[in-house]
Amino acid sequence: MKPVKIDKESLLNIKSRPVEYIMNFDALKLTYFPFIGWFIPMSIKKDDEFYMFHGKQAFVLAAYVIGACFLLYFMAHIFLPSWMDIARFILVMLIYLHYLVYVALCIMGTLMINRGEKKVFPYIGKYISKLTALINF
């Protein structure tokens, strides 16, 4: 095995890579971070249409998931009697299904941001478009 030759320039390049990555990091990539990521583009760049499009889309998606899971939780644990275990189990599984779909849509949204696309989500995009038209931040 040959010994590795280390010179001063290679060490400086190694040290500067993380700093370079941090300096060039785009905060828009955090937009679809579950439940709180929508706040980042709305507070950083209010004038940029691309940022606001994805911020509003992430906000509506997070609000839907929180509302739907909250409703399903109350249906499962408050409105159903204790002897309806199968119905409770089904509602709890629906909550977990909502979380899985939400994480998948967050990943899809992050990939759209990385590609620079301004597209709505499939199937639910028309509902999100209607709701984002009502939001005026």
Instruction: Please report the pLDDT score of residue 101 as a whole number.
Output: 92
Q: What is the pLDDT of residue 71?
A: 92
Answer yes or no: is 104 within a domain: yes
- Residue of higher predicted confidence among 41 and 67: 67
pLDDT digits (tens, 9 = 90+) for 6-60: 666 665 555 555 555 555 666 677 778 887 888 887 788 778 888 888 888 888 8
Distance (Å, whole) CA 67 – CA 72? 9
| pLDDT at 35 (0 to 100) | 77
For every residue of 83-99, DSSP letters joined together read T-HHHHHHHHHHHHHHH
| Overall pTM > 0.85 | no
Q: What is the pLDDT of residue 16?
A: 54
Residue 3 is assigned to a structural domain of this protein: no
- In this prediction, residue 97 carries a pLDDT of 95
Residue 15 placed within a domain: no
**For residue 40, which phi and psi values (nearest 5 degrees)?**
-65, -55
- For residue 93, give its domain range: 27-134
Whether residue 20 is contained in a domain is answered as no
Asked whether residue 44 is assigned to any structural domain, the reply reads yes
- Give the count of domains, the chain: 1
Residue 132 has pLDDT above 80, yes or no: no
In a domain, 102, yes or no: yes
Does residue 113 lie within any of the structural domains? yes
Query: Is 14 among the domain residues?
Result: no
Residue 57: is it exposed, middle or buried by C-beta count within 10 angstroms (0-12/13-18/19+)? buried
What is the per-residue pLDDT across 83-130, written as a single tens digit (0 to 9) for each? 888 888 898 899 999 999 999 998 998 888 888 888 888 777 788 778
With the C-alpha atoms ordered 36, 42, 44, 45, is the resulting torsion angle positive or negative?
positive
pLDDT at residue 114, as a whole number: 85
